[in-house]
Amino acid sequence: MAKEYSYYPGCSSQKGASSSNLEKSVETLCEELDIKLNPIPDWNCCGASIGYAGGGELPRMTLSARNIALSEKHHPDQDIVATCAACWLNTREVNERLLHNPKLKEETNIALQAVKLEFSGKKKVRHMVEVLIEDVGYDALAAKVKKPLEGLKIAGYVGCQTNRPFGIDGESFENPMYLDKMVETLGGEALTKYEKKVACCSGALMFSEPEKGQALVKDIIESAYDNGANMIVTPCPLCQANVEIYQDDINARYKTNFNMPVMYYSQLMDVAFGRNAKDAALDGNIIQSMELRKIADK
């Protein structure tokens, strides 16, 4: 029987949005692993990490609270799962902050009366990666591998928000290993000494402070090259976008020749599990990994 979850896709995963390839590849992955993601009906934006300029504490709390309340109403027995780092972080953080602050919870629920919802805080808010590690397990993932990612040297870029402050699987904030373990599970070579594993890509500040942001991304890519990587893999859509799509700008600014593919873990899994390039949404990447495509096309 399929494992079912109350799914919070988030704005970037929508059709035609910046991480629609993550959405697609996760969809494929769920088919493979017999996982059913039930979208939270009429979900709204979580406020991301930059919402604070316009939104105060309480309005921002209510955003996620509404999503949680919707999930509580429609999927009472299912954990909430998000694929986007910021979506997961915000939802989980709001869940915990409301539980620890009765006043805030009370006010949030007053606001939620406007949509006839109530936040009770009984939900577990999880990241898709947690589902894979804890509910599926590395062994089960390994068992699914049909086309091992042989010869691929992969820098696991965990970034910030799928890491801090909650962590995945109790791992270290400074040196989480889960991406590396996944890569190895899929038959690839994990570059475990990759120094920029948890460095910041500048997040939303890439938009407002592009020079500062690109300086950070430059180091992230450079370190991957120094470690001999064929590609970077990440669980975070904003990390993926920031590291992938500005490489032209960075090359212009720093006189570099970066052309480093930045993939999602879900895309790697789809390919390793034997799915084709389309199912793995490889077309969704601006910089293609020929090596990965070759395996997908095998």
Partner 1 sequence: MSTAVNQAMVEKYKGNFLKEVTENVEEGNWVKMCMQCGVCSGSCPLGPHWDHPPQEIFMMIRANKREEVLSSTSMWMCTSCYNCIARCPRGLPITHIMHGLAHYSKRIGLKPKNQPTEKFGQMFWDNLTKKGRVNELKLGLGLYFKDGFAEGVKVAMSKQKLGMNMMKAKRMSPMEMLGGHGVSDLAGFHAMLKKAEELEAARVGENTDKK
Partner 2 sequence: MTAVVATNQTIIVVGGGISGMTAALEAAETGKQVILLEKRPYLGGRVTQLYKYFPKMCHPTCGQEINQRRIKMNKNLTVITQAEVSNISGGKGDYTVSVTLTPRYVNSNCTACGDCAKAATTEFDDEFNYNLGKRKGVYLPNAMAFPQQYVIDARLIGTPEADAAKAACKYGAIDLDEKEETIELKAGAVVFATGWKPYDANKIQPYGYDRFANVINNVEFERLMDPHGPTGGKLLRPSDGKEAKNIAFIQCAGSRDRNYLKHCSRFCCMASLKQTQYVTEKYGTDGKSTIYYIDIRSIDRFEDFYRNVQADPSVSFIKSKVAKVEQDKDGNPVLHGVNTEGYHRYANTHDLVVLATGMEPSVDFKGLPIKIAVNEEGFIEHDEANGGIFAAGVAADAMDVNRAVQHATAAALRAVQVVNQVAGA
Return d(Cα 73, Cα 128) in angstroms, integer.
21
For the segment 14-53, give every residue that binds partner 1 (CB under 8 A): 14-21, 42-45, 47-53
Give 136's DSSP letter.
I
Q: Nearer Cβ to partner 2, position 173 or 207? A: 173
Task: For residue 266, state whether it binds partner 1 (rule: CB under 8 A).
Answer: no
Q: Nearer Cβ to partner 1, position 135 or 249? A: 249
For residue 292, the one-letter residue type is L
Burial category of 138 from C-beta neighbours within 10 Å (exposed 0-12, middle 13-18, buried 19 and up): middle
**Could you tell me if 275 and 149 are in contact, meaning their C-beta atoms sit under 8 angstroms apart?**
no
Q: Nearer Cβ to partner 1, position 5 or 119? A: 119
Q: Nearer Cβ to partner 1, position 221 or 241? A: 241
Q: Nearer Cβ to partner 1, position 70 or 186? A: 70
Question: Shortest distance, CB of residue 265 to partner 2, whole angstroms?
Answer: 22
Binding mask 112-141 for partner 1 (x = CB under 8 A): xxxxx-------------------------
- Residue 109 touches which member of partner 2, partner 1, none, C-beta under 5-8 Å by kind: none
Cα 71 to its chain centre, rounded Å, is 20
- Please give the full DSSP string across 195-223, using - where no structure is assigned: TTTT----TTHHHH-HHHHHHHHHHHHHH
SS3 state of residue 272: helix
SS3 state of residue 80: strand
List 4's β-bridge partners, or say none. Answer: 36
For the segment 159-218, give every residue that binds partner 2 (CB under 8 A): 172-175, 195
Residues forming contacts to partner 1 in the complex (CB under 8 A) are 11-12, 14-21, 42-45, 47-59, 61-63, 66, 107-108, 110-116, 160-161, 163-165, 173, 199-200, 202-205, 207-209, 212, 216, 241, 245-246, 248-249, 283-286
